Structures are given as structure tokens and as C-alpha cells.
Amino acid sequence: MEKKDYYKILNIDKSASPEEIKKAYRKLVKEWHPDRHMENKHIAEEKFKEIQEAYEVLSNPEKKKLYDRFGFVPEGGMPNGGQAGGFEDIFQDFFGGGGDSGNPFSDIFDTFFGGGGRSSAREESRAERGQDIHATINLELKDVLYDIKKKLEYSRYQTCTSCNGTGAKNGTAFKTCPRCHGEGTIHEEQRSFFGTFVKTYPCPTCGGTGKIIEEKCDVCNGKGKTVKKEKLDITIPAGVEDGYVFRVRGKGHAGKNGGQDGSLILHINVKPNNKFIRKGANLETEVTIDYVTAALGGKIKVPTLEGDIIEKINEGTNPGTIIRLKNQGLPTFNGRRRGDIYVKLNVKIDKPSLKEKKILKELAKAKKIEI
């Protein structure tokens, strides 16, 4: 059995540090993410899984040590933590128990004595739900004031209408897979420090079904699905928070073998605003006023998301005073109320003109202030 070179998969040296391993992994998963290879998604998915598998081993010191020594890693690490146990326990630790495939020890004996391995090998032919599609919707802060409609265009896989998802040309049949001879599984010997074992896994040629397409569908070329350009009008409710996630069911990639379609997952990104800081439904901002207005009071211009409004402040307003504009903030997500705007007042003191200086000196004299 050919051993996978995890170092080659991640394109790193055996002496690579944990940071270098992580950096290489992040670069490759971004490059090979299936959503970036719509036309060759099957190839990308296999490569993506291979990268994940390599990182899972090389990022774990215990698994990396085993891999460097034996060329592969038991899923449970060292069997039973190094303690003595039953022979079945050793096999279970070595091949990984607790999965959908059942007891791997029994599967090994099925290989030799003709057990029920065939049914478990074809689990991949069961109905499978389609993959989800993720998209980001960018909003300005003012967009959150009211319900807003956004047009979204994206590509997704849909079940081929010509072959109904079978991948076979109409009027043609399937034939027995020549690699696994219809069994749906491949049996290979694997050597380890325990001895020689037979490992069973789904046939990659037929995908574990035991049959292959005799004549491919002309429309989808045997894939059972085609790429569709989707256009949707999405209504985003008022008051939505940054980071909120919406799910549109049935608008992801098509399912397999009659499985339901995946979902479209929408991630909301509310862009930062240069005037306001959001605190839930409330907004915070700052306004600078001159010292005369602060001393005598008067009308000032205050920003809101819907334009400036005029507010009156009291005489003798100190720097740092906060005024509250009721119901001028954002709506709550449930729409029951609207938040407020809190305005912090900063007082700006300019260098006085000659006329202003004369007035200020008279004021200082009246207040008995020495200057």
C-alpha cells in the first residue's frame, strides 16, 4: 500500500516548526477550498481532504512522532495508551472505533470469512445532503435602519435534469466496476509494528457503489449535476447585528442520490461608521462646540443616520457633557423599539481675537480673576 507523504502534501520539510506547518496549511486550504474550484470540485474536495488529513497528523506531536517512525498513524494514537489489552481492543485502537463503519475488528474477519462487509461498503450510495454555500452581505450602518433588499448572484450545483442526477445517458445502464468487481470495496494489506493486516475502504473508482456509468450523460458529463447561476432577492430585517447569520434552505449545492439540497448561509457584515459607535440599538458620537455656546447655551447641529438635526443645549455646558437623543438610534432586531443617540460634547477654545480678548479681560475683571 502506497504511503502518503504528508510533508510533500503540505510542501514543507520534515524539520518544519509548528508555526511553519500551520502557515503552510492555511495557505493550502485557502487555495484548494472546493468553492473556489466549481468546475473541478471533485478534484478540489479530494485535495482538500488530503491537506486536512496531513495537517491533523503533523500538527499533533504524538501523531507526528508515530508517522515519522512508521509512515502512518493509528487513529487513536498509541493503542490503549501503552497498556495491555484484548486483541480486539488493539485492532479498534489501531483502525479507529466508534465510527459509522461499526467494529473494525469484525470487518477484518469479514474480509477473510465473507461477512457483512458489502452492505457497509456501500454506505456512500445512500442519500446525501448537498453542501452549504457561504456568502457575505456587506451593509452600511444606515442600511440597518429599515428592512433592506439585496440582490445576490452566485453559482451552485443543481441536479442534472437530463439524467436526474444519475450521471448516465438516458437509455443506458450501469456496469459492474472492474476494479472492485461490484463489491464496492478495496482490500489492501498494510504492514505495521503489529504485523500484516488487511484494510478495507470504499472503491475510489465507483465511489463504493460497485457500479460505474456505461455511457456518461452528455449534459453533465457523468457528474449528475450542473452549474446554475442563481439570482436571489434577500430581505435583511432592520436592526440586524454585525456577524449575524441567516440560512436559506434549499439554495445550496444539490444533494446526492436523492438527498436534499444544502443551504445558502449568509453572513452579515455591517461596516464600521466614521461618525458613530454602535452599542446594540444605541449609537454614540461626539460633537465639538465653541466655548461661547458652551457658556451661554444655544442651538447646535447634531448628526444622525438620517441627517443632521438641531438641538438646544443649556448655558454653562461643561466639556464631556453627554446629551441623549431619544429614538434616534437603530431599531431593535425584534422591531419593538428604537434606540437612542448619545452625544458627547467637546468644547473647543480658539485663540481669541483682539475684540474677544478685550471682552474676556472685562469678564475676568468682573469675576476678579487675575490675568
User: Are 244 and 266 in the same domain?
Assistant: yes
The answer to whether the predicted template modeling score (pTM) of the entire model surpasses 0.85 is no
Query: Residue 116 — very low, low, confident or very high, per pLDDT cuts 50/70/90?
Result: very low
User: Are 351 and 286 in the same domain?
Assistant: yes
User: Are 193 and 293 in the same domain?
Assistant: no
In angstroms, the CA 157 to CA 70 distance is: 41
Is 254 annotated for ligand binding? Answer: no
User: Are 283 and 205 in the same domain?
Assistant: no
The mean of the pLDDT values for the chain is 81
Q: Which of 26-35, 249-258, 270-279 has the lowest mean pLDDT?
A: 26-35
pLDDT score, position 194 = 60
User: Are 262 and 296 in the same domain?
Assistant: no
User: Are 266 and 348 in the same domain?
Assistant: no
- Does the residue 26 lie in any domain? no
- Does the residue 329 lie in any domain? yes
Query: Residue 46 — very low, low, confident or very high, per pLDDT cuts 50/70/90?
Result: confident
Check whether 256 has a pLDDT greater than 60.
yes
**What mean pLDDT is predicted for residues 55-64?**
87
User: Are 153 and 221 in the same domain?
Assistant: yes
Q: Which of 359, 341, 147, 342 is nearest to 238 (CA)?
A: 147
Is 203 annotated for ligand binding? Answer: yes
Domain count, the chain: 3
User: Are 201 and 264 in the same domain?
Assistant: no
- Does the residue 221 lie in any domain? yes
Is 163 annotated for ligand binding? Answer: yes
pLDDT score, position 119 = 43
pLDDT score, position 73 = 58
User: Are 141 and 256 in the same domain?
Assistant: yes
Express each pLDDT in 296-345 by its tens digit: 999 999 999 999 999 999 999 999 999 999 999 999 986 779 999 999 99
- Does the residue 311 lie in any domain? yes
| Domain extent at residue 140 | 128-164+216-271
- Does the residue 111 lie in any domain? no
pLDDT score, position 207 = 77
Q: Please tell me which residue, 357 or 21, carries the higher pLDDT value.
A: 21
- Does the residue 82 lie in any domain? no
CATH number of the domain at 340, please: 2.60.260.20
Is 249 annotated for ligand binding? Answer: no
Check whether 354 has a pLDDT greater than 80.
yes
User: Are 322 and 361 in the same domain?
Assistant: yes
Is 311 annotated for ligand binding? Answer: no
- Does the residue 64 lie in any domain? no
Check whether 282 has a pLDDT greater than 50.
yes
**What mean pLDDT is predicted for residues 9-34?**
88
User: Are 150 and 235 in the same domain?
Assistant: yes
Is 357 annotated for ligand binding? Answer: no
Is 286 annotated for ligand binding? Answer: no
User: Are 154 and 248 in the same domain?
Assistant: yes
Check whether 120 has a pLDDT greater than 60.
no
Q: Which of 227, 245, 271 is the last residue of a domain?
A: 271
- Does the residue 371 lie in any domain? no
Is 160 annotated for ligand binding? Answer: yes
Express each pLDDT in 72-107 by its tens digit: 655 444 433 333 333 333 333 333 444 444 443 344
